[in-house]
Amino acid sequence: PTDHLESCFVEHPAAGYRKIFESVEELTEPIPAKITGVVPSWLGGSLLRMGPGLFEVGDEPFHHMFDGLALVHKFDLKNGQVTYYRKFIRSDSYVRAMTENRVVITEFGTAAYPDPCKNIFSRFFTYFRGAEVTDNCLVNIYPIGEDFYAVTETNYITKVDPDSLETLKKVDLCKYLSVNGLTAHPHTDTDGTIYNIGNCFGKNMSLAYNIVKIPPAHKDPIEKSQVVVQLPSSERLKPSYIHSFGMTDNYFVFVEQPVKINLLKFLTLWNIRGATYMDCFESNDSMGVSRSGVNDGTGYLSSHKFRTSAFNLFHHINAYEDEGYVIVDLCTWKGHDFVYNYLYLANLKGEWEEVKRAALRAPQPEVRRYVLPLDIHREDQGKNLVSLSYTTATAVLHSDGTIWLEPEVLFSGPRQAFEFPQINYSQYRGKKYSFAYGLGLTHFIPDRIVKLNVQTKETWVWQEEECYPSEPLFVPTPGATEEDDGVLLSVVVKPGAERPSFLLILDAMKLTELARADVNTIIPVTLHGTYKPAS
């Protein structure tokens, strides 16, 4: 174990990382992997991953990491053998791009333009009809009831067959819920109920964040989904960008960050071609971060608002209740400058020195713990309200009723991010826990897997020269009694190797390698995914 990671810097002068941002073709059938080591005999099922797979159409490039057309990947593990398969999601974005050999639907950071071959009147008409919302579901894939859905952050999700990877149907969430989209990071309760959160632009331009509930297994659970809590936005026409949220047994934890979606820009730009989703974001540099703890259906936790200094937030790690507090662990990026500004492909595919220079300007990453007191009394003004023995995080009540939070830093390293966090979710979501697993980024380049003890701040690292891993998914050993008894699964790309990609299986306790399954193809960057046990 290392207490800090300066010693773990790996330089990337060969720029092999560029390979994870290059287009690939789908496979016609699964290909066998070559196994080194021993795959645990109990590990049987499929690792499903989503990410961009096509980074240009014809001679038109996609510009942002969240633009490439969605590719679903699958590693099947059975009787110690492993196969790999992948297929493009047949979204409207994909089908029409293939048909017209150009970008037809505007993506996160790439604008679509009217077809230059059409006559001037139809082109003019297309300009003012406004851009269509993308259904390019490249961010995550997860189960809803018996089915699997590939998702992004718009109102469209796509049902996928987890065995054949065939695209089954496109679902418009707006038909069932008053939301303009949901995050790609839902929470699942022990009974299979799914909770998620999304922005809702209502009548008279009113704005709210809606927490949504999808009931457990029912023939079509999405049809039975409903909004359970509505939170008002602190700025009338500028909701905060939400990528994930926290959930304990009794509370939802929502962080309103200073990265905002300017609704007026969204509505006006959307009617003129040439604008993208990225053009509609802005940062409120005068705003810190406010957060609300919300009870399961009774509205706000209290009349108090929790505030802290500005940060960007994409991923919650975990949240739990303890002795009258809600403890919230987050992967933060300091300041209000939007981190996605640094994820343009030109940035990520630069020479190593350029990549480093760009990352120096970006917000600094830090894993933080915040502690929210549930029991607040007027007479406690000016005092630290946190009396938990195991944290240095503080909460101070101000005269205006706001509670100022200062975090405990759980992990920090120069230009070193701990991101794409995972925990032993089935056993420890919403519970006091010890271990988080993450993808280590050096200047935004994924180059290691990190295990973090959130109580002692001890870290363990898996890293190998010229290897670019992805989010590590935790799979518990059947019947395990220890929190970290299980394996981590990560898709790793090693561009120079004879077989340039592999599924890495690590012992989650020691972070040592148990096995790898090498495949003879490059696998581009994947964002999130899920492990589907053999039925």
Predicted confidence band of residue 298 (pLDDT cuts 50, 70, 90): very low
CA separation for the pair 474, 491 (Å, rounded): 13
Q: Is the pLDDT of residue 125 over 70?
A: no
Predicted confidence band of residue 266 (pLDDT cuts 50, 70, 90): confident
Residues linked to residue 34 through DSSP beta bridges, in sequence order: 518
**510 within domain boundaries:** yes
CA distances from 532 to 186, 243, 424 (A): 16, 23, 15
Kindly state the greatest CA–CA separation across the chain: 72
Residue 417 belongs to domain spanning: 16-533
* Strands, sheet with 486-493, edge to edge from the N-terminal-most edge strand: 34-37, 512-519, 501-507, 486-493, 473-476
Q: Is the pLDDT of residue 10 over 90?
A: no
Instruction: Say what the pLDDT of residue 290 is.
Output: 78
Q: Is the pLDDT of residue 438 over 50?
A: yes
Predicted confidence band of residue 217 (pLDDT cuts 50, 70, 90): confident
Annotated binding site for Fe cation: 185, 243, 315, 528
CA separation for the pair 68, 448 (Å, rounded): 24
Q: In 3-state terms, what secondary structure has residue 295?
A: strand
Average pLDDT over residues 366-386: 94
Average pLDDT over residues 213-232: 92
Angle at 251 between CA 203 and CA 424, to 5 degrees: 120
23-49 per-position pLDDT tens digit = 999 999 999 999 999 999 999 999 999
- What DSSP string runs through 39-91? --TT--EEEEEEEEEE-EETTEEP-BTTTSEEEEEEEEEETTEEEEEEEE---
Q: Is the pLDDT of residue 128 over 60?
A: no
Instruction: Say what the pLDDT of residue 203 is.
Output: 65
Residues linked to residue 450 through DSSP beta bridges, in sequence order: 438, 461
Strands 187-188 and 167-172: unpaired
Residues linked to residue 419 through DSSP beta bridges, in sequence order: 439
pTM of the model: 0.95
Residue 222: alpha-carbon gap to chain centroid? 22
Instruction: Say what the pLDDT of residue 11 is.
Output: 85
167-187 per-position pLDDT tens digit = 999 999 999 998 999 999 999
Residue type, 35: I
Annotated binding site: 185, 243, 315, 528
Instruction: Say what the pLDDT of residue 204 is.
Output: 63
Average pLDDT over residues 379-402: 95
Which of these, 224, 144, 170, lies nearest to 532 by C-alpha position? 144
Q: By percentage, how much of the chain surpasses pLDDT 70?
A: 92
Tell me the Cα Rg of the chain: 23
Instruction: Say what the pLDDT of residue 299 is.
Output: 44
495-527 per-position pLDDT tens digit = 999 999 999 999 999 999 999 999 999 999 999
Q: Is the pLDDT of residue 56 over 90?
A: yes
**5 within domain boundaries:** no
Question: In this structure, what are the phi and psi dihedrals at residue 80, rounded to the nearest 5 degrees?
Answer: 75, 0
Which of these, 391, 396, 227, 226, lies nearest to 320 by C-alpha position? 391
Contacts of 156 (CB under 8 A, 6+ apart): 91, 133, 134, 135, 137, 170, 171, 172, 173
Q: Is the pLDDT of residue 273 over 70?
A: no
Contact by Cβ (8 Å): 384, 395: yes
Average pLDDT over residues 359-367: 96
**2 within domain boundaries:** no
Residues linked to residue 74 through DSSP beta bridges, in sequence order: 48, 85
CA separation for the pair 183, 198 (Å, rounded): 6
Average pLDDT over residues 307-327: 97
CB atoms closer than 10 angstroms to residue 520: 14
Q: Residue 97: in which H helix or E strand, if any?
A: helix 92-100
In the numeric block, the tokens 């240095």 are attached to: 392
Q: How many domains does the chain have?
A: 1
CA separation for the pair 148, 160 (Å, rounded): 6
409-427 per-position pLDDT tens digit = 999 998 899 999 999 999 9
Residue type, 524: P
Predicted confidence band of residue 287 (pLDDT cuts 50, 70, 90): confident
**11 within domain boundaries:** no
**Side-chain half-sphere of 236: how many Cα atoms within 13 Å?**
4
Q: Is the pLDDT of residue 302 over 60?
A: no
- What DSSP string runs through 332-392? EEESSS-GGGG-BHHHHTS-HHHHHHHHHHSPPEEEEEEEEES---GGGTTSB----TT--
Contacts of 481 (CB under 8 A, 6+ apart): none
Contact by Cβ (8 Å): 493, 422: no
**10 within domain boundaries:** no
